[in-house]
Amino acid sequence: MNQADFLNIIVPFKDKVFRLAKRLLVSNQEAEDATQEVLLKLWSKKEQIGEYNNVEAFTMTMTKNFCLDRLKSKQANNLKLVHSNYQDENTSLQKQVEAEDSISWVSKIMETLPEQQKMVLQLRDIEQYEYKEIGEMLNMNPTAVRVALSRARKTVREELIKKHNYGVS
């Protein structure tokens, strides 16, 4: 496989690789490093890429595994929470602050979810993968993916309601 063919296969979803890495590793720098490492690993396997049924699912699984290994390593001690992907110029300052606060709370709540629920929520609601694709990536039955997603959404919703009600019932 030549470089052009490889790039045509990989480029369409490299941004998804970065977003998944960012969700897991949180830091932009760590996510960029992880993306580069995954792409280098794919390049080294470029001759076998044609053998995979779903290259994108294979790549996302590789990204997930790389990031989880990275988090388990000793280098994980210096990761920080930095998440500022949202920006809209046409909103008032108050609405911007509220939106940023909500995004911050969702991010914090997502970090408290069990690893499987966090991954399913990221892949389905943010990356827009189908249940079957998520099942392939995470070695789960599509029904189990739906259950994990439902539980994750419920937890996020309940925690956000608590935060917005300021503990008042």
- Tens digits of per-residue pLDDT, 20-50? 888 888 788 888 999 999 988 888 887 777 6
Greater confidence (108 vs 50) lies with 108
Q: What is the largest CA-CA distance in the chain?
A: 62
**CA dist., res. 10 & res. 49, Å (int):** 10
**CA dist., res. 108 & res. 112, Å (int):** 7
Would you identify the CATH topology of the domain 91-169? Arc Repressor Mutant, subunit A (1.10.10)
- Tens digits of per-residue pLDDT, 9-22? 777 888 899 998 88
Question: Which pTM was predicted?
Answer: 0.55
Q: Are 57 and 133 in contact (CB under 8 A)?
A: yes
For the structural domain made of 1-80, what CATH number should be given? 1.10.1740.10
Neighbours of 100 (CB within 10 A): 14
Is residue 35 classed exposed, middle or buried when 0-12, 13-18 and 19+ CB atoms within 10 A define those classes?
Answer: buried
In this chain, the answer to whether the domains covering 1-80 and 91-169 adopt an identical fold is: no
Q: What is the residue extent of each domain of the chain?
A: 1-80, 91-169
